[in-house]
Amino acid sequence: MTPIAREHLELTRRYFLKLGAASACALPSLPLLAYDNAIAKEALAAAIAKLEYLTTQDSFGTVERGDPLPYTHPPEKLREIGLVRETWKLEVVGDPAAPPKFEASLSRELGTALDWGGLMTLAEKHAVRFLKIMTCNNGGSPLGMGLWEGVPLRTVIWLTKPQADIRRVFYYGYHNDDPKQLFQSSLPIGRVLEDPPGGDPVILCYKLNGEYLSGKRGGPVRMIVPDAYGFKSVKWLTRVVLTNAPAANDTYASGNNDIDSQMKTFARFVSRPAKVKVGEAVPVTGVAQVGISGLTRVQYWLSPQEVEWPADDPYFTKADWKDAELLAAPESWGGGLTEGKLPAGTLGFDAATGRPLTWPMRNTLAHWAVLISGVAAGKYDLRCRTIDANGIAQPLPRPFPKSGRNSIEQMPLTVEEG
Ligand SMILES: Nc1nc2c(c(=O)[nH]1)N[C@H]1C(S)=C(S)[C@@H](COP(=O)(O)O)O[C@H]1N2
Ligand SMILES: [Mo]
């Protein structure tokens, strides 16, 4: 099971319990024994797996490079290269190839680089926390769901007294001083200085789920870009360059990746049986990533395998899709937070009640579940998809890979004679 799968079970168990109780009175003709079996199975799995909304730091999926991996150096070396909090430093300098107009470099050479103490002083006044899902644009499903804390990148950029001729911000992770291991990304200065309505800032991130970032997660400090795929969130951050260059120079631009893509909305299965007996309900659960266009519905479609689908409808738009249930925001967020509580002041949450202002929230995930009943014996393909807040069904409006993999997921399901 993936980390998100495990954390998801706890939520869905409650959903099935509620559903089971309600249907016992409302629909007395349903095969209750089968329902009970399904409920029991879910409850058991949940007790074993203890699911949560947030992914703990250690159970995140990881996409990394470097030989050796920067955080695996011995402690002495880590101190020397600035990959522990006590010795970490961030440079913010101008690009000599496309010079910006600004007053004050934060540089190692001048002794003005931002250190951990400086960052923590800024944090006292400027720290923010928000939820963001981490997904590799080429990965089939999310790597993890986090509560990230940091200081907005713009707070540090303003310290350099920028004036003009700045079009982009390039930024770099530690790479063993080997140009071949360099990992870099970039953003338009506009995105750094300003957030879209309801959006979160780009941050110099030092905490995940209330704990300091581990080396593996990119600590002491990584970039977190809330609305972008993972490659914009550079780990082991050491250097920011202000530039008047007009174009991106992201490492991910090689490999045919679309480096301007914002997150897409798409659904994935988490748990579903491969086989049931006729009369047994089919419990299905999943996650949906909520991209730039939001999320209004998750749907499923059970199609007999022997039916061939017309080639001119590759996204199954004419299929008999049915709604699954989108689960509400959890009461307990998990992820190792004390009592599962989000800290006060988390962006997008009501200060008085601690509840989210909108749900589902962009750049996070939502859980979904459905209990499918009355399926005849046979072999099926089970598919799921999202409908975004513009009413557009996955994988449209952006079906191409390399800007975020969002193809419709498909799982086989066999319903056996009783
Ligand atoms: N320095 C550095 N930062 C990096 C990477 C890397 O290889 N080196 N991988 C990126 C990619 S492609 C992704 S998808 C995310 C994954 O973040 P995670 O490993 O914390 O889940 O980190 C990004 N940041
Ligand atoms: Mo990635």
CA of 267 to the centre of ligand 2 (A): 19
Best residue among 172, 233, 238 to mutate for probing ligand 1, ranked by most atoms within 8 Å of CB: 233
- Given a contact cutoff of 8 angstroms between Cβ atoms, the answer to whether 393 and 317 are in contact is yes
Give residue 6's pLDDT.
Answer: 54
pLDDT digits (tens, 9 = 90+) for 6-38: 555 556 555 555 554 444 333 334 444 455 555
CA of 188 to the centre of ligand 1 (A): 20
Mean pLDDT of 265-280: 90
Q: Which residues surround ligand 2, an ion (CB under 5 A)?
A: 63, 136, 230-231
Ligand positioned closest to the Cα atom of 250: 1
Residue with tokens 């009501």: 350
Mean pLDDT of 296-304: 97
Q: Which of 3.40.50.720, 3.40.30.10, 3.90.420.10, 1.20.1050.10 would CATH assign to domain 59-255?
A: 3.90.420.10
Atom 24, ligand 1: residue with shortest CA distance: 234
Distance CA 280, CA 381 (A): 17
Distance CA 382, CA 371 (A): 13
Give residue 283's pLDDT.
Answer: 83
Distance CA 185, CA 299 (A): 35
CATH fold of the domain at 2-51+264-416: Immunoglobulin-like (2.60.40)
* Spatial CB neighbours of 130, under 8 Å, sequence gap ≥ 6: 147, 148, 200, 226, 346, 347, 348
Query: In the sheet that 275-277 helps form, which strands lie side by side, from edge to edge?
Result: 275-277, 409-416, 378-387, 297-304, 322-323
Ligand positioned closest to the Cα atom of 64: 1
Give residue 43's pLDDT.
Answer: 33
pLDDT digits (tens, 9 = 90+) for 347-400: 999 999 999 999 999 999 999 888 888 899 999 999 999 999 999 999 999 999
Distance CA 120, CA 8 (A): 34
Mean pLDDT of 192-203: 96
How many other CB atoms sit within 10 Å of the CB of residue 139? 15
Ligand 1 atom closest to residue 134's alpha carbon, by position in its atom list: 21
Give residue 202's pLDDT.
Answer: 98
The mean pLDDT of the chain is 90
In the chain, what percentage of residues exceed pLDDT 70? 88
DSSP state of 139: S
Give residue 45's pLDDT.
Answer: 42
Question: What letters, b where the CB count within 10 A reaches 16 and e where it falls short, cover 178-208?
Answer: eeebebbbbbebebbbebeeebbbbbbbbbb
Atom 21, ligand 1: residue with shortest CA distance: 62
Ligand positioned closest to the Cα atom of 144: 1
Instruction: Give me the residue spans of the domains in the chain.
Output: 2-51+264-416, 59-255
Give residue 26's pLDDT.
Answer: 36
Distance CA 136, CA 173 (A): 17
Please give all residues whose beta carbon lies within 6 A of any atom in ligand 1, as ranges: 60-65, 134, 136, 143-144, 173, 183, 217-218, 230-231, 233-236
CA of 139 to the centre of ligand 2 (A): 7
Distance CA 230, CA 256 (A): 15
In the chain the first and final C-alpha atoms are separated, in Å, by: 29
Residue with tokens 């400027």: 126
